Structure 1
Amino acid sequence: MRIAIHHHTHYEYDRPVLLSTHFLRLKPAAHTRTPIESYTLQIHPQTYLIHWQQDPFGNFVSRIDFEEFMKEVSIEVAIVADISRINPFDFFIDAYAQYFPFQYEAQLKKDLGPYLEISENGTQLQQWIAAIDYSQKGIIDFLVMLNEKVFKQISYTVRMEPGVQTCEQTLHYASGSCRDSAWLLVQLLRHIGLAARFVSGYLVQLAETAPHGHSLTGTEEDFAALHAWAEVYIPGAGWIGLDATSGLVAGEGHIPLACTPEPAGAAPITGTAEKAETRFTYATTLVRL
């Protein structure tokens, strides 16, 4: 199945404003397992300079320097991808890491340092960690159990406020956006000694119906949107995606854009404008080819 994703972001100001340098993290990461056939980025008006970079974590970043005052800015991304079925468990695991708990080898632990850093340690988080079943079990069984636990206890909500909730806020409200659940899972994994990172990307869901017309995938129509999830590093397997919003392991529908130790580094668009009344709209559409 070949699909086209069109992602449009539009800012409209009540007067011409000067924009700071913007950084866009809207190009699929090099390690995405979903084959990307084409990618285009268009910005209007076309009075800007663009420089492609890679951040310290290997993510593609486009630096945009605007050359004049702007009354509106339009950012459009078009991607053609091959959504072929992927077995998310198609990997090997090093012998010493096949059962939880385990310890990373010394050099690997040093390399994974930023992804083991614990930045939250609240009371509710500690209580949640203490309630985890730590009896020895296969590492994949353990990860699936932990991901499902977050999925079942944290309900999903659309949250338009910028930034990410603290783990204490997410646990207190028992709800959060996809980025809130992802960050909670990242911190949980680090607390129990597993390297984890925050992922921003596109989530693609295709409607698939049985002969009698009922949905097989839980969605009634094709869907694409910006999304967030976590990845955990398991020796031998590498980075494994865990989507706490659905309780599933990441598959062909998860297209990563940026993977970082902290959520702020994975924001799809960063930059500022002079103070003005601003109208912000966005849309993501998906078409089967």
Structure 2
Amino acid sequence: MILTVYHKTSYDFASPVGGILQSHRLTPAKCEAQKIIEWQVDVPGAVMGEMFRDGAGDYIQTVSLRMPVTSIEVTVRGIVETTDTSGILRGHRERVPPRAYMRDTLRTEPNRAIRDLVDETLHGKQDAPELERAHLLAAAVAEALPYRPGATHAHTTAAEAMSEGAGVCQDHAQVLIACAHLADMPARYVSGYLNATEDGTPHEASHAWAEIYVAGLGWIGFDASNKCCPNEHYIRLGSGLDAEDAAPIRGLVLGGAAETLDVTVVIEAQQQ
């Protein structure tokens, strides 16, 4: 499948700020599931640092504006050829060992509700293959947290989402990471794009899911929000310990000012 990407992020400040420093994880790495045909990130007026690939295999680029700034626009345009690999991450070069992703963060720290969910889901399944247990946990998270836009916010933790009893893709991913850790399986947060849900419903937004490491197979993606593994409708941008760590754009503003954020994401499939 050929997917085109248009992703524009605009920041407007109520009064000029002294400058902006950002770290972008906006360029997807090549792997068997995706081949980059065209990709460009534009930030008018900014100084673009040298892009590098980190230990997790993700591309990172720093961006800075060292002058009084009232607004900034980050625009991504790209074309990617995708392939369904049943969610298995193949051909992705990285140096970080899987066990490094056993560490909980404030966003993925489990509470009693998450511990109970894992105990109930894996009861009698302790000796089941890791892949089976990973699928069971993903299905359990999807059932425990119905998808409800607006139920949570950008800083909601896995424990808070479980207490709320509903969430969005960010919450599903972070709760699944917490569950996998309790089952002694490395897991991480993945940011990216989704063209459409499994039933073909347009999905014009950034997306997130979890990857769980299964011995003998490697990293496998699980999208609890859509009850599937990533397929040709997905583009993988980057990974991290949680939503904050894997954020496509992270930044520092020099000087405080009220900020307005506007994001537009459009993913479309081309005829081949």
TM-score (norm 1): 0.80
Are residues 48 and 111 of structure 1, via their aligned partners in 2, closer, same or farther at CA, if it must alter by over 3 Å? closer
The share of aligned pairs that are identical, in percent, is 21
CA distance in 1, matches of 2:200, 2:30: 28
Equivalent pair of 1:9/1:283 in contact (CA under 8 Å): yes
CA contact (8 A) 2:87 2:230 kept: no
Q: Deviations along 1:150-197, whole A, 9 cap, x unmatched?
A: 11220123347332x333212111111211110110110111111111
Equivalent in 123, 126, 138 of residue 112 of structure 2: 123
Residue 201 of structure 1 pairs with residue 199 of structure 2 = no
Q: How does 1:127-142 map to 2 (within 5 A)?
A: 127-133=116-122, 134-135=124-125, 136-142=127-133
Specify the alignment match of 2:2 in structure 1: 2
The match for 1:267 is: 247
**Residue in 1 that maps onto 2:49:** 50
Residue of structure 2 in register with 1:79 after alignment: 78
Judged with a 3 Å threshold, the aligned counterparts in structure 2 of structure 1 residues 228 and 32 are, in CA distance, closer, same or farther, namely farther
- Partner letter of residue 187 of structure 1? A
Going from structure 1 to structure 2, the CA distance change for 1:32 and 1:8 (only over 3 Å counts) comes to: farther
Contact 2:20 2:66 in 1 (8 A): no
Match of 2:231 in 1: 251
Q: Which residue of 1 aligns with 2:181?
A: 190
Partner of residue 106, structure 1: none
Which contiguous aligned blocks of 4+ residues in structure 1 show a shift greater than 6 angstroms?
89-92
CA distance in 2, matches of 1:70, 1:126: 46
Structure 1 CA distance, aligned partners of 2:61 and 2:261? 21
Question: Unaligned regions of 5+ residues in structure 2, if any?
Answer: 91-95
Out of 194, 216, 238, the position equivalent to 1:236 is 216
Quick one: structure 1 residues 32 and 64, their matched pair in 2 at CA, closer, same or farther if it must change by over 3 Å? farther
Using the size of structure 2 for normalisation, the TM-score is 0.85
* Aligned amino acid, residue 53 of structure 1: F
Question: How far off its partner does 1:90 sit?
Answer: 7.3
**Structure 2 matches for 1:41-190, cutoff 5 A?**
41-44=41-44, 46-84=45-83, 86-88=84-86, 111-119=97-105, 120-133=109-122, 134-135=124-125, 136-159=127-150, 161-163=153-155, 165-190=156-181
1:284 to 253, 260, 265: 265
Equivalent position of 1:13 in the other structure: 13
* Amino acid of the structure 2 residue aligned with 1:88: S
* Counterpart secondary structure, 1:146: helix
Structure 1: which amino acid aligns with 2:60? V
Deviations 1:243-268 (A, max 9, x none): 01111111122211111223322111
C-alpha deviation, 1:32, in angstroms: 6.1
Q: Per-residue deviation at 1:286?
A: 2.8
RMSD after superposition: 2.5
Distance 2:13 2:170 in 1: 28
